[in-house]
Structure 1
Amino acid sequence: METAIPATSIKQAIAKIKVEEERHCSLPAQLVVCLVIAMSLWSRDSMRDVLKNLIDGLSEAWVKVGKYWRFPCKSAITQARQRLGAEVMRQLFHQLVRPMAHSETIGAFLNGLRIVVIDGTRLDIPDSDENARVFGRPGSRPGTRSAFPKVRLVILVEAGTHLIFDALMCPYRIGERVRALKLLRSVTSGMLLMWDRGLHSYAMVQATVGKGYDYLGRIPTNVKFLNEKPLDDSSYLSLIYPSGKFRKKGFEPILVRVIEYTIENPEQPEEQIRYRLITSLLDIEKFPAQLLACEYHQRWEVENTIDELKVHLLGRKTPIRSQKPREVVQEVYGLLLGHWAVRSLIFQAATSARVAPLRLSFTGTLRVIRRAVPKFQRLNSHDLPLFSIG
């Protein structure tokens, strides 16, 4: 855990944001950062129980040196979170996260291109007036309203490791396509970006090509492409325009390669699902259509990543527990950092064992971490990182 989220990085994030702390505070900022992250590791426990789990081993060491730490009440924990704010967690997240797969990581690359996937999800948040005003609710039938406000979360994932290396959250009313474009800031050359049909747009293709990145995306059924030039592997070259109106006006199009194929339902052989993909990879020798069609289904790894976030880490009826918008943002970044810590540990273990990171159980690793945290905190009296002995 220390290698995934080093104490020095937490201190740097706190110093950069310049969080003010009360003198002789029983909940210093560094401990509160760890508490917010630990909320995702023990998501079903109350805040006070999460804190007890977090400092179990430290408390024993504290007693051994003849010191006494008064356990804070619920309101003190809330005030400590409010003092910390959300910016420290955001700073820490962007300071730490990065793709980690290397050339020997099984399933992370396609002919030298690192496979990354972009997608979005929604998180229910507590039904408070402030949360509803800032984040909004989904639409519903006249005279009714949805049960919970929602925050929209768009993530960029390394497919071969499930590591989330960039993320954006926004009010529900802002669409995923808008935020997905901004996440291109973390895509670099040497990556193959995948997206599903819900994120397809001319703007997405234009922005990706303009930055010199490669992409492989699915096309919605209502989008039509003309077969401009057939290729030997049954794919074909076509042109993409912003809209039919711009095509008639002679607008400069973008060259794309289209791959079409069908998948049979094993339970209902007569039922076939048609897929259409577009890509910037025009070399049919290095990237034949069949290879890209098979590899595109790596995109579903992002769905497994979202499942790890929303089901295995959170596992609550209302995933987020904060009643105020700023603490909601703080908690979501804590959730992302918690996932980063677990997945980083899995990557280290898989690398040591020379197996694919996705072969190791996420829930199993989470249980190991929960058991191990207090054991590794039984430290010497001079090495209690979360407390001030003075």
Structure 2
Amino acid sequence: MCIKKNSFFVLETLREVIFSDEIILEYRMNKTDFSRRRKQPFGGMLLFMVNFLKKSLVIEIDSFVNFLNSKSNLTSVKKFTKSAFVQKRMKINPAVFKYLSQVIIKNTYIESNTTIKLFYGFRILSVDGSKLTLPNTEELKKEFGESKNQTDTGVVQARISVLYDVLNSLVLDSEMDKLKTCERTLALRHSIQWKKNDLIIYDRGYPSYDFKYEHINAGIDYLIRVKTSHSKIVQCFVDSGEKAIVTEIFPQEKHSFIGKNYNKNSPLKVRLVRVDLPSGEVEVLMTSLLDSEKYPTKIFKELYFMRWGIETFYDELKNKLKVGCFTGYSKISILQDFFCAIFISNLQSIIVNDLQEELNIKNHNTKLNYKINSNLSYGFLKNRILELLTKEASLENIFNELQNLFIQNTIPIRPNRNNKRNVGRYRNRIKPLVLKNQKDAL
């Protein structure tokens, strides 16, 4: 019998939600959609879509139907065609997967869940944007836009952004919009998920007076890396050789103040922190954490490095979950696939997070610490996710099986590894090197 951890109860809640009448009424595209009992009910379509659809839809449908019908404890499913699925999915609002992610989030950040990791009492979040290459169709080009490379070949792309808990590996919010949409605009849309005692880490593309003002006005702390040439104040700080100072910044003269609650004479207090890297490079961090006794200067190098978690997430999203392998060419199908991948990532994370105690026991007598192999864990979820989320299946059995598979397949954490970043490989459209031990699990 499995130990019922927080993720177990989250899965129980998801089972109820996915097959509820309320979710149909809220996330069908029209009032007449899913009003009659059909071969492909709303909940059944959601199950099919979360089952890592990376192969031909015809093959995935055949595998889905055969798997469910082979399990005596699951409701049998009649075979349906690719055309039937395409028609049905157009009746499902893509936001349903954002909602399912929120079910996970709301039932994870609770007082009784002792596995939640904090740093100095903060939930450490990070925001970063990225580009996602889409199928080259006229509809998607008009909807999202395109970028040009050196040969003037247009590539259809969308701008994506996530608000990510780097210590607990959870996406709190996600956005996809036109390529021309500013990353700061998308970042501020995530504010619906901001909470007291959040500390948000940003890279160099985000600093602006207005951006920092929005955080301070909402009572949210931030840590932003800025260029050494960001402003005269920053330049003077770097030249001074000091480790940290508290100073005031003001809006630029050319800044538009229309509709703003501040003017050119409105100061913002910030703390500048200098971080000297082994390479000799100087990094400057700007933060709202002004109290040097409560938040000593020495913690900021480690704190900013935590931002690397969001880079790891994007690697998993694109290279392990293969979010770019879309199952359709319409805007609805693109958004469904994107938000569905975020939901699957969160589902995997809550199961992995609950295994920390078992990992600690496993690491007790080993030279290196070990972690769950995320690539294999997604592979183990394939098909098993159907049993996890189907009400008829025994949740205890499949949950226990997954936990054992995750624990048995771990990889060592090798500290102080440093791979030199090759920025030019993407500028010249050179594909990154794929190591020989990297195999797809899906």
Is residue 21 from structure 1 mapped to residue 34 from structure 2 by the alignment? yes
Q: Match for residue 120 of structure 2?
A: 111
Secondary structure in structure 1 of the residue aligned to 2:278: strand
CA distance 1:381–1:172, shift in 2 (3 Å): closer
Query: What is the identity, as a one-letter code, of the residue corresponding to 2:120?
Result: N
Kept in 1, the 8 Å contact 2:34–2:42? The answer is yes
Give the CA deviation at 1:352.
5.7
Deviation readout 1:56-104 (Å, 9 max, x if unpaired): 4421246x99x97442121111111112232433433344435649795
Superposition pairs of residues 274-289 of structure 1, within 5 angstroms: 274-289=282-297
Name the structure 2 match of 1:361: 373
Deviation at 1:9, TM superposition (A): 1.7
Which residue in 2 is equivalent to 1:49?
59
Amino acid at match of 2:43: Q
Shift of 1:297: 0.5
Post-superposition offset of 1:310: 0.6
- The letter for the 2-side match of 1:48 is V
Per the alignment, residue 242 of structure 1 pairs with: 251
Specify the code of the residue in structure 2 equivalent to 1:110. Answer: F
Q: Alignment partner of 1:199: what SS?
A: coil
Aligned to 1:181: 188
The reply to whether residue 256 of structure 1 matches residue 270 of structure 2 is yes
Q: CA shift at 1:183, angstroms?
A: 1.0
Letter in 2 for 1:370: K
Relative to structure 1, is the Cα distance of residues 274 and 121 closer, same or farther in structure 2, using a 3 angstrom cutoff? same
Q: Match for residue 388 of structure 1?
A: none
Partner Cα distance (1:198, 1:381) in 2: 47
Structure 1 pair 374–56 and aligned structure 2 pair: CA distance change class (3 A): farther
Superposition pairs of residues 56-67 of structure 1, within 5 angstroms:
56-61=66-71
Which of the pair has the greater relative contact order for Cα pairs under 8 Å at 6+ separation? 1
Q: Is the 8 A contact 1:13 1:92 kept in 2?
A: no
Q: In the TM superposition, what whole-angstrom CA distance separates every residue of 1:292-337 from its partner, at most 9, and x where no partner exists?
A: 122211011100011111111117xx43342111221111111111
Deviation of 1:172 after TM superposition, in Å, equals: 0.7
Partner Cα distance (2:246, 2:207) in 1: 18
Report the residue type matching 2:293 in the other structure.
E
Alignment of 1:310-349 (within 5 A): 310-314=318-322, 318-349=324-355
Alpha-carbon offset, residue 238 of structure 1 = 1.7
Matching of residues 94-173 of structure 1 within 5 Å: 94-98=102-106, 100=109, 105=115, 108-140=117-149, 144-146=152-154, 148-173=155-180
Question: Does the C-alpha gap of structure 1 residues 54 and 241 become closer, same or farther in structure 2, counting only changes over 3 Å?
Answer: farther
Distance 1:33 1:122, change over 3 A: same
1:260 positional shift: 1.2
Letter in 1 for 2:271: R
Report the alpha carbon displacement of residue 375 of structure 1 after superposing the two structures with TM.
7.0
Question: 1:24/1:234 Cα in 2 relative to 1: closer, same or farther (>3 Å)?
Answer: closer
Aligned residue for 1:34?
47
> Match of 1:110, SS?
coil
Shift of 1:111: 1.4
Q: Distance in 2 between matches of 1:363 and 1:53?
A: 21
Query: Whole-Å Cα distance in 2 between the matches of residues 229 and 167 of structure 1?
Result: 36
Indicate the RMSD between aligned Cα atoms, in angstroms.
3.6
The CA distance in 1 between the partners of 2:264 and 2:93, in whole Å, is 51
Give 1:75-94 correspondences, 5 Å limit: 75-94=83-102
Q: Secondary structure at the match of 2:147?
A: coil
CA distance in 1, matches of 2:393, 2:221: 53
Preserved contact between residue 248 and residue 269 of structure 2 (Cα < 8 Å): yes
Give the secondary structure class of the aligned counterpart of 1:138. Answer: strand
- Structure 1 137/366 Cα, relative in aligned 2: closer, same or farther at 3 Å? same
Partner SS state of residue 72, structure 1: coil
- Of the structure 1 ranges 85-94 and 129-138, higher mean CA displacement relative to structure 2 is found in 85-94
* TM-score of the superposed pair, with normalisation by structure 2: 0.73
Question: Structure 2: 5+ residue runs without aligned partners?
Answer: 1-6, 256-262, 364-368, 396-442
Distance in 2, Cα, partners of 1:300 & 1:378: 35
Residue type of the partner of 2:308?
W
Name the CA shift for 1:251/1:70 in 2 (closer, same or farther; >3 Å). same
* TM score, norm. by length of structure 1: 0.82
SS at match of 2:355: helix
Contact 2:275 2:284 in 1 (8 A): yes
Structure 1: how far apart are the matches of 2:225 and 2:370?
A: 24
Q: Is 369-378 or 225-234 further displaced after alignment?
A: 225-234
The counterpart of 1:207, out of the listed 201, 204, 214, is 214
Does residue 308 (structure 1) correspond to residue 316 (structure 2)? The answer is yes
Kindly provide the amino acid, as one letter, of the partner of residue 88 in structure 2: A
SS in 1 for 2:303: helix
Q: How many residues of Structure 1 are paired with residues of Structure 2 in the alignment?
A: 366
Structure 1's 200 and 8: CA in aligned 2 closer, same or farther, altered over 3 A?
same
Cα distance change, pair 296–304 in 1 and its aligned pair in 2 (3 A): same
Assess if the C-alpha contact under 8 Å between 1:57 and 1:376 holds in 2: no
Kindly indicate whether the alpha-carbon contact (under 8 Å) linking 2:47 and 2:389 is maintained by their aligned counterparts in 1. Answer: no
Deviation (angstroms), 1:134: 0.3
